[in-house]
Amino acid sequence: MDVPVQLILNGIMLGSMYAIIAVGLTLIFGIVRVVNFAHGEFLMLGMYAVYLLSRYAGLHPYVSAVPVVILLFCVGALVQRFIIQKLLGADEHIQIFATVGLSTALVNLALLVFGADLYSVQAPAVRQSLPIGSFTVLVGHLVILGAAIALVAGLHVFMHTTPLGRAIRATAQNRTAALLMGVPVERIYVISFGLGAACVGLASALIMPLYPVTPTIGSYFVLTAFVVVVLGGMRSMYGAFFGAMIIGIVDSLSGYYIAPDLKEVVYFAIFILILIFKPTGLFGFGRGTE
């Protein structure tokens, strides 16, 4: 009995990591309607930034979350302003190529600057095990779970109570109508892309104490985040949150019961099945075939 419970607990911890990344991806897709293939590379950038801040300024990774979130917001906003914005009217495949190109360029830029070595930061307190009854979790993982819940709750409040949040929701629902109502749609897009990227900024600060960074770390997390987003119905951050938990648990269980090197096969299989048979996602929050 103990093993499955511990595995599910591990899965939730893993899931909350995916949740933060997937919420960012969902924001960008739900509002700007662009699938950001470079999302993982934003994470990678954030992690290197956290590493540099820790190494040269001695900042604790959690403290560096503040500057890194701001940095990533700017990166996202700039990408939207100078690349995506110009391609909004273009064919869909051109948009895909643009973000795929960005992803390729960023991975290789990191390879060029940092090489293929692993870099990690020292934060022993974060890696401490915390007993919960007969089970254990890492302090760092618990912080991530808390942050994921806070992020979704915070975004919910922001989207539903502030004028900017309302403008963002209006833009997501109907771009043309929002434009006619005087919503500055292009600026909303810049902000939304920035917010989506800022989410991975937060994720990178929380993940850095637990995982070393390499140029290809992004694709490791983000392919999973794509699975999560599709599972959650593409447009809904609540869907993304619960989708992330499911994938985390699937990851943890299949790694134990099937084979560690086949767990990705399991959730990619889920991904493909969902895309094909239930493109609105598990919870019916959105539509993948639109």
Partner 1 sequence: MTDTTRAALVASPIGFLFRLSEPRVYMTLAALSLLLIVPGVIDSPFIIHIFVTICVFGALSTAWNIVGGYAGQLSLGHTMFYGLGGYTTALLIQHYGLTPWLGMWVGAAVSVVVAVGIGYPCFRLRGPFFSLATIAFLEVIRLLAIHFHGFTGGSAGLIVPLKIGWPWMIFQEKFNYLIIAFGLLVLALAVAYGIRHSRLGYYLTAVREREDAASAAGVSNSRVKLQAVMISAALTSLVGSFHAMYLTFLEPASMFSLSTAIEVAMFALIGGLGTVAGPLLGTILVVPLAELARGWLGASANGLHGFVYGSVLILITLTLPGGLVGTFGPWIARLVDRLPGTPKRAEREAPALRRISGTPGEPVLEARDLVMRFGGLVATDNVSITLKRGEILGIIGPNGAGKTTVFNQISGFLKPTSGRVSLRDRSGAMVELSGPDAFARIGGVGRTFQIVQPFGKLSVIENIMIGAFMHHHGVEDARASALRVADVVGLLPLKDVEARNLPIGDLKRLEVARTLATEPDILLLDEVMAGQSQADTRKMVEIIRAIRDTGVTVVAIEHNMQAIMSLSDRIVVIDSGKVIAEGDPKAVVADRKVIEAYLGEDFVDAQGH
| Residues found near partner 1 in the complex (CB under 8 A) | 35, 37, 83, 86-87, 90-98, 100-112, 115-116, 215, 219, 223, 226-227, 230, 259, 261-262, 264-265, 268-269, 271-272, 275-276, 279, 288-290
Nearer Cβ to partner 1, position 140 or 215? 215
Nearer Cβ to partner 1, position 35 or 139? 35
**Least spacing, CB of residue 262 vs partner 1, in Å:** 6
**Least spacing, CB of residue 83 vs partner 1, in Å:** 6
**Least spacing, CB of residue 202 vs partner 1, in Å:** 24
Nearer Cβ to partner 1, position 143 or 282? 282
CB 187 within 8 A of CB 31: no
Nearer Cβ to partner 1, position 70 or 90? 90
**Least spacing, CB of residue 16 vs partner 1, in Å:** 23
**Least spacing, CB of residue 129 vs partner 1, in Å:** 30
Nearer Cβ to partner 1, position 111 or 157? 111
**Least spacing, CB of residue 196 vs partner 1, in Å:** 15
Nearer Cβ to partner 1, position 192 or 224? 224
Residue type, 37: F
